[in-house]
């Protein structure tokens, strides 16, 4: 048995149990999504497999035909795209400026910006609600477009500042010597090298929009204007009987593209992009 085969087998032996534990909730989610509604309350049926009834699409039909689920998805996508765009427009130049600011001033400003991200959202709840009322954005998804960047921009600025610091200033100097302008250097040299940081910001911002509940639940009441998280909570839990199958379908659909994004770009998050700049 070769050493490479033994090392690979040992890796699978260590990682395998973790993968099974992490994948188990998704397995239960899929089983529950296609179960018959009557089987959820039968204690004699295991929750980890189908009972007497075969898999059914009734939960999918109920979700798409008897709720505003497609509107919730559309509202979440619109807010997510807007928040990601605003975050990149503000955080990219801010992170670069702080990274290139000499001395302790840039570091102190970066830490100060990051500390604003650590303020609990519940403390900002009432001030934000007052602002939303003043600009007449109650029950509108644009209220969330206004509020969410206050969470994403500080963290994204701090994160991108760390990425930009790893890019040698000599690369920019070489581009400037070759005749590139400051903006051209940013667009052709700095930003392409910092693509892993940009992708991290995009996925972080969009994930926050999908998962955030408190502000989306408070600022928007009508079901047709609701976001995904509060829409599922307020419309699929009716009295003491949650629609478990529909809830699992509603959770499974957005989790698939997010999981694919994380796995597709995982190598970019951990790659040494400054080393790649010199290859």
Residues 147 and 79 in one domain: yes
Residues 150 and 268 in one domain: yes
| Of 56, 74, 94, the domain-final residue | 56
pTM for the complete prediction? 0.81
Buried-state track 230-258, b at ≥16 Cβ within 10 A, e below 16: bbbbebbeeeeeebbbbbbbbbbbbeeee
Whole-number Å distance between alpha carbons of 76 and 208: 11
Count of the separate structural domains present in the chain = 2
Residues 204 and 97 in one domain: yes
Residues 36 and 137 in one domain: no
pLDDT along the chain (279 residues), means of 10: 69 82 85 82 75 81 89 93 94 84 65 72 81 87 91 86 79 78 79 80 87 88 88 82 85 82 67 39
Whole-number Å distance between alpha carbons of 69 and 64: 6
Residues 219 and 90 in one domain: yes
Q: What is the pLDDT of residues 139-198, one digit of tens each?
A: 899 999 999 998 888 888 888 887 787 777 777 778 777 777 777 787 787 877 778 788
Buried-state track 35-60, b at ≥16 Cβ within 10 A, e below 16: bbbebbeeeebeeeeeeeeeebeebb
Instruction: Assess if residue 61 is contained within a domain.
Output: no
Residues 28 and 81 in one domain: no
Instruction: Assess if residue 266 is contained within a domain.
Output: yes
User: Following DSSP, what letter does each residue of 189-217 receive, concatenated?
Assistant: IIHHHTHHHHHHHHHHHHHHHHH--HHHH
Residues 8 and 47 in one domain: yes
Residue 24's pLDDT is what?
Answer: 86
3: containing domain: 1-56
The CATH number of the domain where 106 resides is what? 1.10.3720.10
Residue 110's pLDDT is what?
Answer: 66
Instruction: Assess if residue 197 is contained within a domain.
Output: yes
Residue 275's pLDDT is what?
Answer: 35
């Amino acid at each position: 048995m070769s050493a490479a085969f033994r090392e690979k087998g040992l890796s699978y032996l260590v990682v395998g149990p973790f993968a099974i534990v992490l994948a188990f909730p998704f397995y239960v989610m899929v089983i529950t999504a296609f179960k018959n509604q009557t089987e959820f309350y039968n204690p004699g049926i295991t929750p980890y497999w189908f009972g007497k009834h075969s898999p059914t699409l009734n939960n999918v039909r109920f979700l798409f035909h008897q709720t505003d689920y497609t509107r919730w998805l559309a509202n979440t996508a619109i807010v997510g795209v807007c928040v990601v765009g605003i975050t990149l427009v503000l955080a990219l130049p801010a992170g670069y400026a702080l990274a290139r600011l000499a001395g302790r001033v840039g570091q102190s400003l970066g830490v100060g910006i990051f500390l604003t991200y650590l303020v609990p959202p519940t403390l900002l709840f009432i001030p934000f609600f007052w602002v939303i009322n003043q600009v007449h954005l109650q029950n509108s998804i644009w209220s969330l477009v206004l509020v969410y960047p206050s969470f994403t921009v500080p963290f994204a600025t701090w994160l991108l500042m760390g990425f930009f610091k790893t890019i040698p200033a000599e690369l920019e100097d070489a581009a400037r010597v070759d005749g590139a302008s400051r903006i051209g250097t940013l667009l052709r040299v700095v930003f392409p090298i910092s693509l892993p940081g940009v992708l991290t910001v995009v996925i972080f911002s969009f994930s926050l929009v999908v998962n955030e509940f408190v502000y989306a639940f408070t600022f928007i009441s009508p079901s047709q204007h609701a976001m995904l998280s509060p829409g599922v909570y307020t419309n699929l839990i009716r009295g003491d009987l949650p629609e478990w199958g529909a809830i699992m379908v509603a959770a499974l659909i957005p989790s698939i593209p997010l999981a694919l994004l994380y796995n597709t770009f995982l190598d970019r998050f951990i790659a040494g992009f400054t080393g790649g700049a010199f290859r």
